[in-house]
Structure 1
Amino acid sequence: MKLSTLAASATLGLSAIATAAPSHSKTITYTTVKGYFLQDEPSTDPSTFDYTSHNFGLIDRRYDSDKHDPNTRDLTQWERFHRELEYLNKHSPQHVSYKLVFMGRHGEGWHNAAESYFGTPGWNCYYSLLPGNTTHTWFDADLTPEGVSQASIAHTYWQSQYAEQNIHFPDAYYVSPMTRALKTANITFSGLPLPLDAPFIPEVKEGFREGMSMHTCDHRRSKSYIESLFPWWTFEEGFTEEDELWTGVTAETEEAQDERSRDALDDIFSRSRRGPFWKSKPADVCGGPGHDHDHGHGEDEKDLVISITAHSGEIASILRVIGHQPFGLSTGAVIPVLVRAEEVKEPDGPTASATWTHSAYCTAPPATSTASGCVCAASAPPVTSGFPVGGTTVPTPTPF
């Protein structure tokens, strides 16, 4: 679902959207290329895995590119992996592209702390619909001190991987517009010894925000607020001043979230330089036509390594889209995935967009918290229409 359609339907508060339109004759299919990272292995337990334990999970192994390059003996594992990434792109068909995608979950936010305090059922049924309490705000939640620490761990680990492994830093950065993700990305990548032709100037992208529910933590602040925090960052085309997606009434289904995740990936993967489908960068973009900097990619491909700072639910959605096994991330954790993208032709025909639904909630703190659903006070039935208890009240943000 294109975000323009999504925004319109969300603003109207529709519980279901069904449209029929001609499909594109070309689309991109995504595949996880397994065998490179421990996170690809079914035997790896995401609940205990520590991405800082060894090279972000990069498996020590030989690559096909090693056979064709006599100068790899003294290279680190990450240096040889990057040559493998270049090799895959150089020897792939014109309609196939490979990218290494680093997905980082934001550090702990005040909404995470509130859910732990109130319990998940009570949080989902009532407290998440409030903008906050007398001590903390979880509308577009900021980072807790623990969240800041988790982002700092990621920063330090990137720094050590560069010093010890000469890891290739991301060529492009994308970040969710939610405050907790913005600040996590900034703490993680600011101050690193990045190359001049790939500085940390992320693009703020609606497609990578958390799955949208009635929770106020899913309601973003204005574009002006984001610009006040990071005035040198960029925004995707069409990014609106106010949040036109969150309604406080309807919730995005898993299918709808996967559609917008796919649209965001399509936009990123279509910005490289391979052939008519892989669109060229404009001449005024660093690394585009007319620029000498190559950042080690050869002449056929740009932005081989990308960073996405997002959320647990959104990263889970991206993993579904690229065919990766489920791999839950704790707050502040990072997962790298080698992604293969292929242009395929599809017959023209009508397409149906995914639905949004109303969710049940309580109008007062729930009497009990159960995993099966909302149990409201005085045996009152859960409400499924109208604005939730949080309404549209938005507290004034205060600096962290």
Structure 2
Amino acid sequence: MQLSGVLLPAFLTAVTFAQVVLSDDSVTLPKFKSSTEYFDQSDPNVKPSDVNYGDNFGLKSNYSWADVLKQLDEHHKLFLLVRHAQGVHQCNTPSTDWTCYWQTIDGYDGQVWADALLTPEGISECQQLSQQINKTKDFPFPDHHYSSPLRRTLQTWEHVWKDLVKDVPTLKEFARETYGIQTESKRHSKSYIKENWDYVNFEAGFTEDDELWSNSTRETGKHRKYRAASVLSDIFEVHKNDKVIGLVSHSGLIGSILDVVGHRDYPVDNAKLLPVIIQKKKHKTKTYKLDDPDKTFEDICPDKPSQITEGPELTCSAAPFDERA
């Protein structure tokens, strides 16, 4: 479809949403470490291509889930990290136009990728993961569930876990994806979430409106690592007696969790569950510098086009969603 010379919007240089301002230039949090013993994907001596993910989610054949649970206590927990399934924001054909224009608006021609919903393929991916969990003998179901507050993670939690457990997820603001500029990272209001997922819990202090997302700045990877460590610190503090924690999140945040716990770099595809044993180190801390938390639009798109002449090339669309608000 041809467009008549759409100019880049002025809002890319104007701040209309409040960015959270941190009062300190650094934050000190507990130090974490991951175990390399029980899972192939955590073992640097096992090639990622050799990990048998389909068999016990990569648990080594000489261990059982009971063996894993025996190692867990106040300072050691098994995190079941789930990346959301395929979302509408992943339906694009990569291009400069997509990065520098289309990702900065809510949608086009009836397709909406702001706070992206799952695609039909994404729903199917969730169902396959749910079946894999259900068929895994002695699978250690979470003592508590957490989720990012973005719609694709809420949908993923529902299609993966809701029919398997009686528990409900608690939404953590810091469990979300890298935020800013790209509208897929902009969440809906707390009221909207309550209306459409009325069973979820909210962490203390969860705000009505999204106070993190900005249309002029985007979070840096350095700041995202701080968020990842903060999420782990909160969970260890609140759930001292729990052994298994479920978390539905995003590739960026999960990657940062792996980084801050010293886990090797490991790819996590859509709707995949990655079990990781994480230790909270006694009397050891790490300081995260927060003096430069954001990138500008010019940082992520130094060669922005002066105008857009064609619509985005989309390869899929959202699954039907009965929006209540």
Q: Classify the TM-score, shorter chain.
A: 0.7 to 0.9
Alpha-carbon distance in 2 for matches of 1:48, 1:128: 35
Residue 147 (structure 1) aligned to one of 111, 116, 122: 122
Secondary structure of the 1:374 match is coil
TM-score by length of 2: 0.82
Determine whether 1:174 maps to 2:174.
no
Among residues 96, 111, 122, which one is paired with 1:136 in the alignment?
A: 111
Q: In the alignment, what sits opposite 2:84?
A: 106
Change (3 A) 1:35 1:48: closer
Contact 1:139/1:218 (<8 A) preserved: yes
The corresponding residue for 1:61 is 62
Does the 8 A contact of 1:46 with 1:329 survive in 2? no
Percent identical across equivalent pairs?
Answer: 30
Indicate the residue corresponding to 2:32 in structure 1.
Answer: 30
Q: Please state how far the C-alpha of 1:268 moved relative to its aligned partner.
A: 0.3
Give the 3-state SS of the residue equivalent to 1:245 in structure 2: coil
Distance in structure 1 (CA, Å) of the matches to 2:304 and 2:249: 31
Residues 1:374 and 2:303 are matched in the alignment: yes
| Structure 2 CA distance for partners of 1:12 and 1:190, relative to 1, 3 Å | closer
Contact 1:79–1:167 (Cα < 8 Å) also in 2? no
Unpaired segments ≥5 residues, structure 2: 1-14, 309-319
SS in 2 for 1:211: coil
Cα distance between partner residues in 2 of 1:352 and 1:107: 31
CA-CA distance at 1:167 after TM superposition: 1.4
Residues 1:378 and 1:166: Cα distance change in structure 2 (over 3 Å): closer
Gaps of 5+ in 1: 1-8, 63-76, 90-95, 274-301, 363-371, 380-396
Report the residue type matching 2:250 in the other structure: H
Match of 2:293 in 1: 355
Q: Which has the larger radius of gyration?
A: 1
For 1:184 and 1:208, locate their aligned partners in 2 and report how far apart those are by CA, in whole Å.
Answer: 14
Larger RCO, structures 1/2 (Cα 8 Å, 6+ apart): 2
1:80 aligns with 2:81: no
Three-state SS of the structure 2 residue aligned to 1:360 is helix
Question: Paired residue for 1:122?
Answer: 97
How far, CA to CA, are the matches of 1:124 and 1:224 in structure 2? 30
Question: Structure 1 CA distance, aligned partners of 2:290 and 2:299?
Answer: 29
Q: Which residue of structure 1 lines up, in the alignment, with residue 282 of structure 2?
A: 343
SS in 1 for 2:107: coil
Give the CA RMSD over aligned residues.
Answer: 3.0
From 248, 252, 255, give the equivalent of 1:309: 248
Contact 2:33–2:261 under 8 Å retained in 1: yes
- Alignment partners' CA distance in 2, 1:17 and 1:237: 18
TM-score relative to the length of structure 1: 0.68
